[in-house]
Structure 1
Amino acid sequence: MQVIKEFNFVDELALNQHQRILRPATRAIVTKGQNILLLHTERYRDYSLPGGGVDHGESLQQALIRELTEETGAREIDNITPYGLIREFRANYKQADQLIEMLSYCFTCTIDDEFDQQNLEDYEIANGMTVHWVDINKAIAYNKQTMAESDKKGISIVRETFLLEHIAANLLNPSCG
């Protein structure tokens, strides 16, 4: 899958000397016109694509389907197509001599119009995670406002906002990209 962006959230010394822990994840891009299926997290005041970590022995497609189903209640997930890869280097706050190399494999797909109930993990519930169809430009503006004003934001908002802008320019409005 083609790398569309690389983010480095650690200093050069850590990048070159620390042990790397690989963390693969998937992200689902589901659109309807200018609307995109997103998760809003109240704790961090942000919008993000549905997705998450790939479990041991799981293919990327299996992980995408599992995460999209759990987080949104989506049904009949079809037409899964590779979109691009985001690579991030992050500090491992649990072990100072390690860094995490996060690989977010992004896929477009289609879903049924009806949803089942979400099956969120405890921390997702505690963070106030809800699913919404959102105009992509409003989601971008919301995330940018959070980035500018909030001390609660996580570093994932940088990746998510970049992805939303990339999707808006290259998938929803390809003549503008």
Structure 2
Amino acid sequence: MEMIAEITDADFGFDHVVPPHEYRIRKAARAVILNPKHEIALLYVAKKHVHKLPGGGIEQGENVSEALVRETMEEVGVEIETLADIGMISEYRGEQSLLQISYCFLAHTVQESGSPAFTDEEREDGFVLRWVAFDEALPLLEQDQPSDYTSRFIHERDIRFLQKTREHFISGEKQPPQYHVKRV
């Protein structure tokens, strides 16, 4: 899988120096999810003033695909099929001694199963699911004003993810082209 970006404290003007062996590693699966209207799912986090793409941590015993299916069901309430892998993004969060590696995919909805099943923490943070036109998503994220350390990383990560996904859609059309389904 192609490396999309490595994001560090230096990208935000922070000067946290953490020896590489002191980072704890967290792996995550994330997706740009298209519905039949070519809208994508975004989660607005009101408390943090930021939109984010669906996805989250890979739990022990899960592979990347299983985590992606579980996370999108929890956060969006849809079943998905993966269309393409987009790449990986590494976040070196020195303040948290965390190296987060996100595996990023393009997917489409197969079936709506209901509403998101947000955790208590997500509800407290004001999570709201929004479906927006693909070409409106990046400008929307670029307007966000992340309010804390972690949100700055999420913001930068998801902008880079959307930019890379958009490269797959450059064809002179406003709508993303249809992909042949490829299981990952």
Q: TM-score higher than 0.5 here?
A: yes
The answer to which of 19-28 and 109-118 deviates more is: 109-118
Q: Which amino acid aligns with 1:173?
A: I
Q: TM-score, normalised by structure 1?
A: 0.81
Q: 1:22-61 to 2 correspondence within 5 Å?
A: 22-32=25-35, 35-61=39-65
- Is 1:165 the counterpart of 2:163? The answer is yes
Q: Which runs of 5 or more residues in structure 1 are unaligned?
A: 94-98
Kindly indicate whether the alpha-carbon contact (under 8 Å) linking 2:87 and 2:105 is maintained by their aligned counterparts in 1: yes
TM-score by length of 2: 0.78
In structure 1, the partner of 2:2 is 2
- Of the structure 1 ranges 109-118 and 11-20, higher mean CA displacement relative to structure 2 is found in 11-20
Indicate conservation of the 8 Å contact 2:88/2:103, yes or no: yes
SS of the residue corresponding to residue 65 of structure 2 reads helix
Counterpart residue identity of residue 26, structure 1: A
CA shift in 2, pair 1:60/1:174, >3 Å: farther
- Write out aligned runs for 1:9-158 (5 A): 9=9, 14-16=17-19, 19-32=22-35, 35-75=39-79, 77-79=80-82, 81-93=84-96, 99-147=97-145, 151=147, 154-155=151-152, 156-158=154-156
Structure 2 counterpart of 1:31, which letter? L
Kept in 1: contact 2:32–2:53 (CA 8 A): yes
Cα distance in 2 for partners of 1:78, 1:14 equals 40
Matched residue SS, 1:69: helix
Deviation at 1:138, TM superposition (A): 2.7
Counterpart Cα distance in 2 of 1:80 and 1:118: 22
What is the DSSP-based 3-state SS (H/G/I as helix, E as strand, rest coil) of the residue aligned with 1:120?
A: coil
Q: What is the CA-CA distance between 1:91 and the residue it aligns to?
A: 2.4
Report the CA distance between 1:132 and its aligned residue.
1.7
Deviations 1:13-66 (A, max 9, x none): 724466111100010121256521211111122221100001011100110001
Secondary structure class of the residue paired with 2:51: strand
- 2:31–2:53 contact (8 Å) kept in structure 1: yes
For residues 115 and 51 of structure 1, what CA distance do their matches in structure 2 show?
17
What's the CA shift for 1:124? 0.6
% identical aligned pairs: 26
Query: What amino acid does structure 1 have at the position aligned with 2:159?
Result: T
